[in-house]
Structure 1
Amino acid sequence: MSIAISDTHSRRTWWRENQQKLTPYIFLIPGVLFFLVYVIIPIFESFWLSGYDWDGLGAKTWIGLDNYRELFDDEAFYTSLKNNVLWLVLYMLAVPAGLGIAIFLNQKVRGIRAYKSLFFFPFVISQVVVGLIFAWFYAPNFGLFYNLIEWATGSGIAILADPNLVTYGIIAAGLWPQIAYCMILYLTGLNAVDPEQIEAARLDGAKGFRMLWYVILPQLRPATFMAVVVTVIGALRSFDLVSIMTDGGPFGSSRVLSFYMFEQALSEYGYRMGYGAAIAVILFLIMMVFISGFIWKMVDDERKGL
């Protein structure tokens, strides 16, 4: 009996001695398990599935790299890839725009909270609602944008029906909430800017762009990193707006890789799970190239003490 009491006491003592060391890991375990089950394992399953010809229900047939060979001869794939590059380039406008609005809102003046609420509003509404709002905004005959163009030039432009303009129209819709997201990140970062450095720079005669470039932006590196990463991810997974506003049309001209993946794997046009997985793999690799580059740059700057 005394031996059992001694063992219990030693276990309690060991837990008390190691509680602070073990508690962070205990909190991390559920998150790591969820990340493993819902992110890491599906990534490897996508790589594995891309080597099969499979309709999602019947037997799988191993075809090796045939899905990738077909993909690189697929004109729709290149259209989707070109649109994704366009999304990436133009979506980056959200970062400086978000910074500019954050600087404007980071003032202590009367009524600034009302302005913050107005600029914050696009972030809290869903992408589906954003898509519907802009679809009505661009709509021929009764849309506000169409009527403004018709009033200014004499003839309206049906943005979502023009293969040459439709992608730009959808990107503009996506930028609306994305700028709000970047604005929030920068507002958080601006709250952490050291006021002593600002005051010292003012005493040295720094102001305007010089103050922004040499004093404020270096302190906003973490916020900039997060803004760039979420903007890149948002540009590459731009599925919902395309689906809501055009369903990939007209004539497939507004497709992006994420939508084309869905179209091939899960819509009535495809049910080709292996081919859809191959598109997902390409999209994942593109995303990893960009994000790995940003992470490497950030780590390198940290090592250099920048």
Structure 2
Amino acid sequence: MLERGSPTVRRLRLGQELRRLRERRALSGEDVATRLKWSASKVSRIENAKTMPRRSDVEALAELYEVEETRRQELLDLHRDATRRGWWEDYSESLSPELITLLGLEAEATSALNWEPQVVPGLLQTEDYAREVTRAMQAVMRIPPGELRDLVKARMARQDLLRGVDPLRLWVVLDESVLLRRFGGATVMREQLERLIEWSRMPNIRVQVLPLSGLSPINTGSFLHLSFPEFHDMVYLEALHESRFVENEKLVYDYEIAFSQLQAEAFGVDASRELIESVIAERWR
């Protein structure tokens, strides 16, 4: 079982707190770099969590910002937690930097909203379905066998976040076409949709289907909206050759509104489960 909590979020929080302390002292990045004899880019990389500062760096910044002892210890505790190893690092050679960041964020998120118009979300995929989805990408990009295995293993490991004492709360809206689009054979699809029904019965997971007979969905690709207990909400967007995170508060809220619209137009949980069962019976038996 994966341990909840994430060095990725701790690193982001550390950078955020150091930036706030600098701004409260009315200092620019150039000012800090001059006083500590650093480069301005080093200050920027630390504040934007692009590099891991040494403990001595955090101490030097706390000294410069005249941080009182209790707050200084909180910063050092954040630094200690940020240097810990995440489970996803076992697969780091096969995962993109953006996916590694996503896995780190998921590990501390308390809830997630996921819109998927093309495939079953990775958090709910069976191993066979995940393998076939990844293999399908080989039509447009080369994925070595070892990397493919790691991608599937990492996807399966993510699912431990949905189990345990304090699981991730996940709300998914799927387009009905996801139930009909084949990856692998009928057996793979049947087992995937049966697993989807099983997941939907868990108290922390809500699955809805947006019917093809309904209104046209909002014109956007898939997105994952993550909420955290001590950090601002973020949205993860994934494209063919790149992924990115949305952190701007207004834009993140726009995605939250978009999800609300999608779930309002989708079938309810029970009706969605009945639709999935009918698709299994009619198409994948």
Question: Which of the five TM-score ranges fits, normalised by the shorter chain?
Answer: under 0.3
TM-score (ref. length: structure 1): 0.24
Relative to its length, the structure with more strand (as a share) is: 2
Relative to its length, the structure with more helix (as a share) is: 1
Name the structure, 1 or 2, with higher relative contact order (CA <8 Å, separation 6+).
1
> Which protein has the larger Cα radius of gyration, Structure 1 or Structure 2?
1
TM-score (ref. length: structure 2): 0.26
